[in-house]
Structure 1
């Protein structure tokens, strides 16, 4: 008997956007009316709500969401407990450094973790393409980690908040978009559905 286990449900469209970016928007909106500490508390609550929302729709919480939520809880908790906004500001740096280290470690070990995570979404990409993509993302994460450190250390909390919510997100989107030409040169198929065959002449 063949295994008829249905594939796992995945978040798509606006539910995915709500889970990925909703907590950041809540943090930004709260900071606009209160301060960084109230915004941090709101961020923690919104992150927990996003996880519950993901579970309600798919009956699972992705590993990346768990990882981010744990760091939000740890650094957000330290921020509120010690009344020191440094912890919530340094959280993105820690996340990006961990992402970069994991990707570099995978390349060193001969394992491509990006391909393991997103291979089903990028059909046809060659091994060379995945290797280049992994190198680029690993370096990108180092760059944005350095940017986050420079901005929170040299500028006001207002500027850091705008960078975290808007600048960081825009940079990541533009960088991902900029990888498409390279991926297409290395075999990316944008249309994975075969065109229906034209019926032949009746005999």
Structure 2
């Protein structure tokens, strides 16, 4: 339960801050919750995974720029930048090293063909490109409240739905153990 709160606490803190006092307060709450979450995860696991490092680093930069300038554009662009970074990781690992999907899921899943890891990697890459584009369209063309609702109530369910839609591919191509 504590790890779950550490992972999703920043988004909850953002929503609470926004509901109480707008995007600048939301940004501050999210930054504080993120720092606390990273500390909790480190204390529990004695390590911090790369996703948390990248996400927290981008959050630190974008929230600092937002808070010091008073301009919410930086915090609104943070998901776009994060999604692009993830897409690039999937793209680069697909051709240069071991696919990122194999690194993340390789202990739980074995595929019949090595090429299936690369196919799954490409699917994740396109998903993150679409999420980056979606974030850009929403924050640039809709109200701030709509963007906050997408960030809090849309992005996570969409990501979970994407993961669920990958299950038939995984089941069809995995080696039975």
Fold shared, TM-score > 0.5 on shorter chain: yes
Is the contact between residue 3 and residue 40 of structure 2 (CA under 8 Å) also seen in structure 1?
no
Bigger Rg, structure 1 or 2: 1
1:6-47 per-position Cα deviation (integer Å, ceiling 9, x unaligned): xxxxxxxx3332222111011101111111001100100000
What whole-Å deviation, never above 9, does each CA across 1:76-135 have from its counterpart, x for those lacking one? 00001111000000000001011111111122225312212221122x223232122111
The aligned residue for residue 125 of structure 1 is 111
- Residue 47 of structure 2: SS of its match in structure 1? coil
Q: Give the corresponding residue for 1:64.
A: 51
Report the equivalent of 1:27: 14
Aligned partners of 2:33 and 2:61: how far apart in 1?
15
Count of equivalent residues: 176
Distance in 2 between residues matched to 1:75 and 1:140, nearest whole Å: 23
2:140 aligns with 153
For residues 168 and 4 of structure 2, the distance between their equivalents in structure 1, rounded to whole angstroms, comes to 25
**CA contact 1:128–1:186 (8 Å) conserved in 2:** no
Aligned partner of 1:90 among 77, 83, 99: 77
Runs of 4+ aligned structure 1 residues displaced above 6 Å come to none
Q: RMSD value over aligned CA atoms?
A: 1.4
The equivalent of 2:164 in structure 1 is 177
Q: 2:73 and 2:145 mapped to 1: Cα distance?
A: 14
Secondary structure of the corresponding residue to residue 60 of structure 1 = coil
Structure with greater helix share of residues: 2
Give me the whole-angstrom Cα distance separating, in 2, the residues matched to 1:182 and 1:167.
Answer: 24
Q: Do structure 1's residue 77 and structure 2's residue 64 form an aligned pair?
A: yes
Q: Select 1:108's aligned residue among 82, 87, 95.
A: 95
Mean Cα deviation higher: 27-36 or 99-108: 99-108
**Contiguous gaps of at least 5 residues in structure 2:** none
Distance 1:51 1:188, change over 3 A: farther
Asked if structure 2 preserves the Cα contact closer than 8 Å seen for 1:27 and 1:43, the reply is yes
Pairing 1:39–2:39 present: no
Change (3 A) 1:188 1:91: farther
Normalising by structure 1, what TM-score? 0.82
